[in-house]
Chains A and B, each alone.
Chain A
Amino acid sequence: KAGVTQTPRYLIKTRGQQVTLSCSPISGHRSVSWYQQTPGQGLQFLFEYFSETQRNKGNFPGRFSGRQFSNSRSEMNVSTLELGDSALYLCASSRVAGVLNTGELFFGEGSRLTVL
């Protein structure tokens, strides 16, 4: 079955602009989580959506937002981009929320954002 699909894979923006990233989960998966990966910081949790509701949120400023649609696809938006927002943004999906012990959390390949 198709894996987690993230678009676009690469993009370049300038400071002050806004960006929208998209994530299509594995078919049948209803939970989508977003992570930011930067060198030296590992992956940092942004938020998790389940059944169109934000279930969990990390410690990021309000410029970072997300949403989930009825088909479980999710988007995240970053407004007023800063240089420090340059990162790999990873999306992960699972059948249900809060699934960790069976390893049923599948990651996409990520969207690499460069802010100039």
Chain B
Amino acid sequence: DQQVKQNSPSLSVQEGRISILNCDYTNSMFDYFLWYKKYPAEGPTFLISISSIKDKNEDGRFTVFLNKSAKHLSLHIVPSQPGDSAVYFCAASASDYKLSFGAGTTVTVRA
């Protein structure tokens, strides 16, 4: 049972434009959300997180938005750079600290 869903398996964006990655979840007990980035042949690396008491968290070019009523979060990358081409995983956790991941979205930034 997939509790975290990333419905877009891929996204192509031009360099300098905005990348918007979406994530939906079903478990209302989730209270912490993270985004991980993964390059080929490497493990995922932490990108940005947000707790359920916030609706926005920003770190440089990366901003995560959380809409709890819609059980939806998104990651905005502005401006997109070629080095951002990777697979992005959305993850969520409740108080048990078990991370549930989405299937990932492959982002390709075109020059």
**Which residues of A come within 8 Å of B, CB atoms?**
4, 33, 35, 39-45, 48, 56, 58, 90, 92, 97-98, 100-101, 103-110
Contacts and interface: CB of A to CB of B under 8 A. Distances in A.
A50 to B, nearest CB: 10
Interface in B28-51: 32, 34, 36, 41-47, 49, 51
B102 A42 contact: yes
Interface stretch (B60-68, B72-80, B89-97): B89-97
B60 to A, nearest CB: 14
A82 to B, nearest CB: 20
A106 B44 CA distance: 8
A107 B34 CA distance: 14
Contacts of A108: 43
**The 10 A-B residue pairs with the shortest CB-CB distance in the complex, in nearest-first order:** A107-B43, A103-B46, A43-B101, A98-B97, A42-B101, A42-B103, A107-B44, A45-B98, A42-B102, A108-B43
A105 B98 contact: no
Given A44-B100, A97-B97, A101-B51, 18 more contacts: A4-B43, A33-B99, A35-B101, A42-B89, A44-B101, A48-B97, A90-B43, A98-B97, A100-B93, A100-B99, A101-B32, A101-B49, A103-B46, A105-B99, A106-B43, A106-B45, A107-B44, A109-B43
A100 B96 CA distance: 11
Given A101-B49, A103-B49, A109-B43, A56 B103 contact: no
A25 B54 CA distance: 32
